[in-house]
Chain A
């Protein structure tokens, strides 16, 4: 299954760098990939298309893993960085940046987004660790947090009278015009989120049996959940900083991953990384190629595909 997804990713990358409004035949593409192409082909492949492909892969992987960690650590099928408000803090930071209220140095902005997401993560961890907070109640708290931050972000954009293509792309979730300066700062945060999550995967596997059983096994459910949700916050904030508010990927990908490979935490974690990257990569290709030369936000494609698929998954999936 992982091999099939890797093959799918290779196809997606090929489509991403070879197809677009500007024509690029196979020989020019091959020359550009090997670093011997003409200037136009080199610019198309290395400066315009490849960074966007990498941005889609990174944002998709971030969302897939962030959703997986939230769902597993809180035992909540609705776990999603956007739905739980983790991405909301990052969205406020990005909205303030688009409105010109905070500075737009890319590294600083990524850091601020991740910090804002971590605040959301801390709030979710606090409520998730309290006894008697059901999955539905936790989801309601997350949705409220999300709505609150969305209102603040929209208010910032409206107050600054910014309704440009840029803000539309942000709200809809888009990877248009992403270059290396947008992608590079995301990589260390992706690495940090994944590296932080890996050591608690073993513990996460037994959280399914409830906090009491997990604690009796020595799995430290409180610490495990805090680390998992914090990782989810880092990854969710990073995804918002690259791609804006892309919906459904974080919610849907972990469910599909589990349907494909079962409930082993370690294999479904890897599957969420690959599947998240593949879903957003292909959604972005549809968003930029379906209506050439104009394009629609990738988040619109993930929602169009994700909503009916989520309904199907919701009928199949079993949860507490």
Chain B
């Protein structure tokens, strides 16, 4: 499944947060959304996940007009891990990941099925937190919490996995491990969209990069040495790069 954005604009309090954003998220792979704080990355992800309605423009999942779908319908396609994902301290890692199996439709289930349990175990294992299932969320490290959230996103079997600046606050080693994990998952059966500030890691691991500046797409394409040169070591430099790759 491919996600295509066509001329998405979003205006808040008479200020354009997103302006005519057009881009494509491929059917498989790790797509990274780069940009400074306030560039519109979070807003774009909130639009795509249905939390915000675009002021204008549409987006499609293959040929389906996803901008016309309700948030409940969009929930079938997107697993979203927000910027400041809460850590309910009373839940164990396994319980939290198990909530990812939630489905809005159907009769109330009074027992967790064997299939759900197997999926949870598989996700925990895939995100390398299988040994932490019975630990409470507030007892594990920040990096482990983020991998638990990734398992939460994976367990739902949704096609698109959307992560909003999930790596903020992690150390360099933890970030690299996380990127390796994302790359591994995306190379098999998922399309992952990650909003990030980490230019070096993004350039190393992403299959595709979309750079947002002031709510506009200024670059869309595969990792590029020119992009690295233009942006320097910080995406702050994105303010000065000219429109490229469009």
Q: Which one of A59-67, A196-204, A271-279, A287-295 is at the B interface?
A: A196-204
What residues on A are CB-neighbors of B71 within 8 Å? 215-216, 218
A213 within 8 A of B: yes
The minimal Cβ–Cβ distance linking A131 to chain B, given in whole angstroms, is: 13
B16 within 8 A of A: no
Do residues B104 and A219 form an inter-chain contact, with CB atoms below 8 A?
A: yes
Q: Which of A188-221 contact B (CB under 8 A)?
A: 198-199, 201-203, 205-206, 208-210, 212-213, 215-220
Partner of A320, one of B75, B89, B100, B112: B89
B76 within 8 A of A: yes
Partner of A217, one of B75, B85, B138: B75
A165 within 8 A of B: no
Known: A212-B82, A320-B89. A217 touches B104 (CB 8 A): yes
Contact digits for A171-190, partner B, Cβ 8 Å, 1 yes 0 no? 00000000000000000000
Q: Which of A55-75 contact B (CB under 8 A)?
A: none
Partner of A266, one of B91, B108, B136, B156: B108
Q: Which residue of A is nearest B137, CB measured?
A: A318
Contact digits for A232-276, partner B, Cβ 8 Å, 1 yes 0 no? 000000000000000000000000001000111011000000000
B170 within 8 A of A: no
The minimal Cβ–Cβ distance linking B154 to chain A, given in whole angstroms, is: 14
Known: A215-B71, A217-B75, A318-B138. A206 touches B108 (CB 8 A): no
Known: A203-B104, A218-B75, A317-B90. A212 touches B51 (CB 8 A): yes
Instruction: Report whether over half of chain B's contact residues are helix, strand or loop; otherwise say mixed.
Output: loop
A319 within 8 A of B: yes
Do residues A318 and B86 form an inter-chain contact, with CB atoms below 8 A?
A: no
| Residues of A within 8 A of B (CB-CB), count | 28
Do residues A206 and B89 form an inter-chain contact, with CB atoms below 8 A?
A: no
B25 within 8 A of A: no
Contact digits for B129-159, partner A, Cβ 8 Å, 1 yes 0 no? 0000000101000000000000000001000
What residues on A are CB-neighbors of B49 within 8 Å? 216
Do residues A319 and B90 form an inter-chain contact, with CB atoms below 8 A?
A: yes
Which of A198, A199, A318 gathers most chain B CB within 10 Å? Answer: A318
A267 to B49, CA, bound (A): 31
What residues on B are CB-neighbors of A198 within 8 Å? 108
The minimal Cβ–Cβ distance linking B69 to chain A, given in whole angstroms, is: 11
Q: Which of B179-224 contact A (CB under 8 A)?
A: none
Partner of A210, one of B50, B86, B89: B86
Do residues B72 and A218 form an inter-chain contact, with CB atoms below 8 A?
A: yes
What residues on A are CB-neighbors of B136 within 8 Å? 318
The minimal Cβ–Cβ distance linking A27 to chain B, given in whole angstroms, is: 42
Q: Which residue of A is nearest B79, CB measured?
A: A216
B118 within 8 A of A: no
Known: A202-B102, A213-B86, A218-B104. A263 touches B75 (CB 8 A): no
Partner of B90, one of A209, A217, A218, A263: A263
A219 to B106, CA, bound (A): 12
What residues on A are CB-neighbors of B85 within 8 Å? 209-210, 213
Q: Which residue of B is nearest A216, CB measured?
A: B80
The minimal Cβ–Cβ distance linking B153 to chain A, given in whole angstroms, is: 10
Q: Which residues of B contact A (CB under 8 A)?
A: 49-51, 71-76, 78-82, 85-86, 88-91, 95-96, 99-100, 102-104, 106, 108-110, 112, 136, 138, 156
Closest 9 A/B residue pairs (Cβ): A218-B75, A218-B104, A318-B90, A218-B72, A216-B80, A210-B86, A318-B89, A208-B88, A217-B102
27 A-B residue contacts at CB 8 Å? A199-B108, A202-B104, A202-B106, A202-B108, A205-B99, A208-B99, A212-B80, A213-B81, A213-B82, A216-B51, A217-B102, A217-B104, A218-B73, A218-B75, A218-B76, A219-B102, A219-B104, A220-B72, A262-B95, A263-B91, A264-B95, A264-B112, A266-B109, A266-B110, A267-B110, A318-B136, A320-B86
- A201-B108, A217-B99, A263-B90 known; 15 new pairs, CB 8 Å cut-off, are A198-B108, A202-B106, A209-B99, A213-B81, A213-B82, A213-B85, A215-B51, A216-B78, A218-B74, A220-B72, A258-B90, A264-B95, A266-B109, A317-B90, A318-B90
